[in-house]
Each structure stands twice: as structure tokens, then as C-alpha cells.
Amino acid sequence: MGILSELPKNLTTALGTADLTPLELANAYATIAAGGLVADPIFIRKVVALDGTVLEQHDAELKPALDP
């Protein structure tokens, strides 16, 4: 689901004691909202010149992480 941090191996993890970055947590919630598809975060999706030509474009590569 996009969580790459090391999770503690004890029972307190069920209470939410793991240290996660806001980006990891947002990506995990986005995975749930996307029906179980996970993608690496993209900060800049497209760069367009003044004349309308696309200089650079990045599209998300969705991978299944959970069953819908």
C-alpha cells in the first residue's frame, strides 16, 4: 500500500504506534480510495511550455496491492 518504513514487530502496532511519514500514510489512504491499486507518488505530472508543447510528462504506474 505504499508503506516502506520498518514496522515494529510487537502487538502495539495494532494501536498505531508505527512511525510513518505523511507521504506514506497519504499513499496508503489513496490506495484504499483507488480500489486497491497502488502507485508511486508523482510530485510534478506535466511540464508545459508557453506555446503548449509538453516538455515532460509522468504517468502513474498502477499496481494491484489489495483486492477491491
Per-residue model confidence as pLDDT tens digits over 6-59: 888 889 888 888 888 899 999 999 999 999 999 988 899 999 999 999 999 999
Which residues fall within 8 angstroms of residue 14, CB to CB, at 6 or more apart? Answer: none
* Alpha carbons 47 and 10: distance in angstroms, whole number: 45
- Amino acid identity, position 38: V
28 and 16 in contact (C-beta within 8 Å)?
Answer: no
Helix, strand or coil, per DSSP, at residue 46: strand
pLDDT attached to residue 67: 86
Q: What is the pTM of this model?
A: 0.70
Q: What is the DSSP letter of 8?
A: P
> How crowded is residue 62: how many other Cβ atoms within 10 Å of its Cβ?
14
